[in-house]
Amino acid sequence: MRSFATASLLLGAATHVAAQYYNQSAPFNLVLKSVNETLDGKYLTPCHSGAAIENLCVYDTPSAYPYFYNYSDTPDFTSDSGYLTWDLHGGNFVVNEPMVFSYNPSSNLALPQLQPGYGELLIAFDEDEKLYVPAYIDDSVDPIEAGESFPLYRWFACQTYYSAYRYLALSWQLGNAPPQNPTCQAVNVTRVFTETAGGY
Ligand SMILES: *[C@@H]1O[C@H](CO)[C@@H](O)[C@H](O)[C@H]1NC(C)=O
Ligand SMILES: *[C@@H]1O[C@H](CO)[C@@H](O)[C@H](O)[C@H]1NC(C)=O
Ligand SMILES: *[C@@H]1O[C@H](CO)[C@@H](O)[C@H](O)[C@H]1NC(C)=O
Ligand SMILES: *[C@@H]1O[C@H](CO)[C@@H](O)[C@H](O)[C@H]1NC(C)=O
């Protein structure tokens, strides 16, 4: 059973880009939890970082438009995960953008960004509404362990730089080592459902 589950998981992982994540949750805001009182209770609000690209910036107020959780329309191995999405409103268009990670080879942080395209980053919310990344591979041990899903909460609020934009924005620690960026503060990201977000 175990090896079958692992094989179908890996097959699914290889083909998940083709899967459709068209079922959407109710709209919600993203709120920080942190022992740092400056950050605790602050919102993550999309901020312009390029053409149709947004970082998730730390602000006092929520986005004019809320986030959604897009999940698979058919129950399958990904039923416990999906995409974090947000509607970018342009002059004469609306595009639903998934959150992806932007990687920087000189840093051990990935920058979560909203960008048009296919979802690539599967995320989920736990029973406390905390955002996590379900991981399937642990290469910190030998032999590498693979197949069993485990949650990672490696979120930080850091001073970021992308395409000449400097922001205090959500960041993701890659691997076990603490962020090399000295401004990083550990946070969690919680989902708070909303009916009052502007524009809806
Ligand atoms: C999310 O679901 C909505 C509603 O079905 C759909 O219009 C949108 O394209 C989906 N977004 C992604 C990134 O799959
Ligand atoms: C809390 O976070 C803010 C924003 O990143 C930072 O300026 C401040 O130094 C942090 N406070 C402490 C006590 O680390
Ligand atoms: C997706 O949405 C459709 C239409 O509302 C519903 O029939 C179906 O059960 C949903 N699938 C899941 C996995 O929730
Ligand atoms: C985030 O939440 C997880 C799961 O509850 C917890 O293990 C972790 O310590 C939290 N991190 C911070 C920075 O509060």
Low-confidence ranges of the chain (pLDDT < 70): 1-19, 76-79, 196-200
pLDDT of residue 7: 37
The answer to whether the CB of 39 is under 6 A from ligand 4 is: no
pLDDT of residue 76: 66
Query: How many CB atoms are located within 10 Å of the residue 34 CB?
Result: 19
**CA-to-CA separations, 56 to 10, 24, 154, in angstroms, rounded:** 30, 20, 15
* pTM, full prediction: 0.90
Between the CA of 153 and the centroid of ligand 2 the distance, in Å, is 19
- Expressed as residue numbers, the domain containing 152 is 4-196
196 CA to centre of ligand 2 in angstroms? 30
Domain count, the chain: 1
Q: What is the pLDDT of residue 2?
A: 34
CA-75 nearest atom, ligand 3:
13
Q: What is the CATH number of the domain that holds 165?
A: 2.80.10
The whole-number pLDDT of residue 17 equals 46
* Structure confidence at residue 19 (pLDDT): 61
The H or E element that residue 137 is part of is strand 131-138
Per the rule left: phi > 0, alpha: psi between -120 and 50, beta: everything else, 87 is beta
Say what the pLDDT of residue 172 is. Answer: 98
